[in-house]
Amino acid sequence: MRLIPNRAWAATLLFTAFALLPLIAVWLDDIYLIVIATRILAYAIAALALDLILGYGGMVSFGHAAYLGIGAYSVAILSRAGITDLGLHLLAAICAAAVFALVTGAISLRTRGIYFIMITLAFAQMAYFFFVSLSAYGGDDGVTLAARSTVFGQPLLESDTALYYTGLALLVGLYLLAVAITRSRFGRVLTGTRENPVRMQAIGFSPFRYQLTAFVISGCMASVAGVMLANQTSFVSPAFMDWHRSGELVVMVVFGGIGNLLGAIAGATIALLLEEWLAILTEHWQILFGLILVLVVLYSRDGLTGFFRRRL
């Protein structure tokens, strides 16, 4: 509670830095910087969404990349049908994600612990295979988008900078939404359930409804990241929901400190920059990344989660 003014400051600082970044990119004459930064924004949205249920709800979902894919394919499928408006793309992504999260969440949340982790992973894999078998959209190979989403019928997002600021606006909006949710009545029930589900039942709450609602909200938020990512790469494929990507999202949340929404954004930034940097060093950067991950988990006291755990 005492941290809230600090958090507001930290958020302002972080988002200001993000807002100034294109200027720096222009000054350095390095347009690739904006491309990376847009990717970071998209993953930050997804990590934020995951943190809402992982950090605040105690639900370790290992299948959140599915929502990236659902968001991305919403763009691809609607664009193919001649609907190019960004707002409609977002709407479709959110609706599809809500349905998927509602069905898979209702089943997954009947279980706990290891089961929950494995089942969310399995359902994400199901989504993966679903899109692999969509031969009309390239199957395994995916599909290249003819153009980015339009805004008010105009191809405004064709400019990388405009896309970047759109992503930033979405991130800030979703961050504020997530902060509001965690501080609301609903958020209290969600966190309380993470702390002690039996206690919450003993005061009259049925955890399932709240957890499922949070799961759906999180899925919808993550699908927004998918819409962003599809626009950034102008390309959509099942690789968006590869289970490695689900794992990377969990890593991002934990790197930033679970149960700390701003941390999720920072974690996405750290993880992606680390990837970029390691990839410069060696083409086999995954070995180094994995090594860092294993070492940090093993040798930080109380493990990574304890190490990074912040007060709420």
Partner 1 sequence: MSLLEVRNLRKSYGALKVTDDLDLTVDEGELHAIIGPNGAGKTTLISQLAGQAGSDGGSVRFAGTEMMGMPMHRRVRAGMSRSFQITSILPGFSVLENVAAAVQARSGSSFRFFAPVSKEQALNDAALAVLARVGIADRAFFRAGSLSHGEKRQLELAIALATRPRLLLLDEPLAGTSGQEADRLVEVMRGLKRDVTLVLIEHDMDAVFALADRISVLVYGRIIATGRPEQIRDDARVRTAYLGEEAGEGS
Partner 2 sequence: MTSLFLIQFLNGVQFGILLFLIAAGLTLVFGIMDFVNLAHGVIYMVGAYLAVTFSQLTGSYGLGLLLTLPATLLVGLVLELLVFRKLYDRPHLDQVLATFGLVMIISEGVEVIWGSAPLSVRMPELLSGSVPLIGPLRYPVFRLVVIGAGLATAVALWLIITRTRIGMRLRAGATNRAMVSALGVDIRSLFTIIFAFGAMLAGFAGAMVAPILTVDPGMGESVLILAFVVIVIGGIGSVKGAFAGALLVGLVDTMGRSFGPIILRSFLDPSAAGQTGRVLAPMLVYILMAVILSVRPAGLFGARS
Residues that bind partner 1 (CB under 8 A): 1, 180-181, 183-189, 191-192, 195-196, 198-206, 210, 213, 311-312
Least CB distance to partner 2 at residue 198 (A): 15
Query: How many CB atoms are closer than 10 A to CB 176?
Result: 12
| The entry of partner 1, partner 2, none that residue 291 binds, CB within 5 to 8 Å by partner kind | partner 2
Query: How many CB atoms are closer than 10 A to CB 127?
Result: 21
Task: Return the number of the residue (163 or 181) whose C-beta is nearest partner 1.
Answer: 181
Task: Return the number of the residue (144 or 201) whose C-beta is nearest partner 1.
Answer: 201
Least CB distance to partner 1 at residue 171 (A): 19
β-partners of residue 169 are none
d(CA 15, CA 178): 15
Q: Which helix (H) or strand (E) holds 126?
A: helix 113-132
Task: Return the number of the residue (62 or 210) whose C-beta is nearest partner 2.
Answer: 62
| The entry of partner 2, partner 1, none that residue 82 binds, CB within 5 to 8 Å by partner kind | none
CA 41 to each of CA 101, 110, 229, 310: distance values in angstroms, whole numbers, following the listed order? 22, 33, 9, 23
| The entry of partner 2, partner 1, none that residue 130 binds, CB within 5 to 8 Å by partner kind | partner 2
| The entry of partner 2, partner 1, none that residue 192 binds, CB within 5 to 8 Å by partner kind | partner 1
d(CA 294, CA 243): 18
Task: Return the number of the residue (51 or 160) whose C-beta is nearest partner 1.
Answer: 51
Cβ contacts of 300 within 8 Å, gap of 6 or more: 306, 307
Interface ranges with partner 2 (CB under 8 A): 54, 60, 62, 104, 107, 110-115, 117-119, 121-123, 125-126, 129-130, 132-135, 243-244, 247, 250-251, 254, 258, 284, 286-287, 289-294, 297-298, 303-305
Task: Return the number of the residue (77 or 221) whose C-beta is nearest partner 1.
Answer: 221
| The entry of partner 1, partner 2, none that residue 247 binds, CB within 5 to 8 Å by partner kind | partner 2
Least CB distance to partner 2 at residue 88 (A): 24
| The entry of partner 1, partner 2, none that residue 183 binds, CB within 5 to 8 Å by partner kind | partner 1
Least CB distance to partner 2 at residue 288 (A): 9
User: Could you tell me the sign of the dihedral formed by the alpha carbons of 29, 33, 35, 38, in that order?
Assistant: negative
Cβ contacts of 127 within 8 Å, gap of 6 or more: 63, 66, 69, 70, 100, 241
| The entry of partner 2, partner 1, none that residue 17 binds, CB within 5 to 8 Å by partner kind | none
Unique residue bearing structure tokens 């209702």: 106
Angle at 189 between CA 185 and CA 193, to 5 degrees: 165
Least CB distance to partner 2 at residue 241 (A): 12
CA 289 to each of CA 17, 96, 272, 273, 297: distance values in angstroms, whole numbers, following the listed order? 26, 33, 11, 11, 12
Task: Return the number of the residue (58 or 142) whose C-beta is nearest partner 1.
Answer: 58
CA 167 to each of CA 1, 49, 116, 160, 271: distance values in angstroms, whole numbers, following the listed order? 29, 15, 31, 10, 18
| The entry of partner 2, partner 1, none that residue 235 binds, CB within 5 to 8 Å by partner kind | none
